Structure 1
Amino acid sequence: MTPPMRLRRRVRFVFELARAVWWLTRIELGLRRNDLPALCAKLGIECDLRSAAPPATEYVVLPRRTRTTVLACAYAVARWPMGSTCLRRCLVLGRLLRSLEPVLRIGVRRDGELSVHSWLEIGGRTLDATSANYATLGSP
């Protein structure tokens, strides 16, 4: 028999997974109907596309209660049939963690070819360790 705590964790994961899939579906439709700033406004995520400030280099420490949410989001996005992109991951996670006031940032870098990346920052700290490798869109 599964111990009660383990069962609670599984139930919580399934609940968070269902929430992530629900928001992935809504976001997929929103990406087709709205521009990014409008979609972010609907989701309750600040969208910073004009700031010339460099990406945060310090990693954010999330509250323990968000651990299952982050894992379920990563699981859902990795298996999403429309593709596992950093933008989808950021939009879903930003919506699920909107009480922490996340900011969506987008950057570019050239390493042979042009690559674009999006990440979330909370309280001036990043959720993505690779964000420091990109120049933000507002940079000169």
Structure 2
Amino acid sequence: MLRALGPMVVIEISLRTSDLPTTCRRLGVAYDLDSPAAPGAVLAVLPRRRRRVVLASLAVVSRWPAGDTCLRRCLLIGHRLRGLKPVLRIGVRRDTAGAFSAHSWLEFAGRTLDPAAFEFAPLGSTDQ
């Protein structure tokens, strides 16, 4: 968990002082905000030794004073697993009551870790 604290401080400062592409570059996390492709139909499976990194990152973000958001989770996990070449994606949806929401997720080789990603239209598909 301690290894996640330093990057989490960088994430927080960067989110508050610069744009998302700059933040992603600082962290070594690729991003795709233009592709209309839906999340892959099959969930990603990480190597066993990498799962501990994900769990530790989730623990840090869940206790983060500025809040536990999907974007912070993705940036931290993406940074810590950057050797696996994750790609940050963002999507939007309207629920049955018409409320708008956004969500971010990571993809590894076109497969997402997050089953909730399938409920969102990627940003690149919103202008069609």
Structure 2 residue runs without a partner (length 5+): none
Q: Percent identity?
A: 54
- Deviation at 1:44? 0.8
Specify the alignment match of 2:6 in structure 1. 22
Matching residue's letter, 1:125? R
Specify the alignment match of 1:94 in structure 2. 78
Equivalent runs, 1:1-140 vs 2, <5 Å: 17-111=1-95, 112=97, 113-139=99-125, 140=128
Which structure: larger Rg?
1
TM-score by length of 1: 0.86
Matching residue's letter, 2:56? A
- Deviation at 1:57? 2.2
Per-residue CA deviation, residues 62-106 of structure 1 (Å, 9 max, x unaligned), is: 011112111100111111110000000000000000000000000
Structure 1 residue runs without a partner (length 5+): 1-16
Which stretches of structure 1, 4 residues or longer, exceed 3 Å deviation after superposition? none
Q: Counterparts of 2:115 and 2:41 in 1: how far apart (Å)?
A: 7
- Deviation at 1:19? 1.3
Q: Counterparts of 1:75 and 1:127 in 2: how far apart (Å)?
A: 17
Per-residue CA deviation, residues 98-131 of structure 1 (Å, 9 max, x unaligned), is: 0000000000000020010000000110010110
Matching residue's letter, 1:127? L
Q: Counterparts of 1:118 and 1:56 in 2: how far apart (Å)?
A: 14
TM-score by length of 2: 0.94
Q: Counterparts of 2:46 and 2:74 in 1: how far apart (Å)?
A: 15
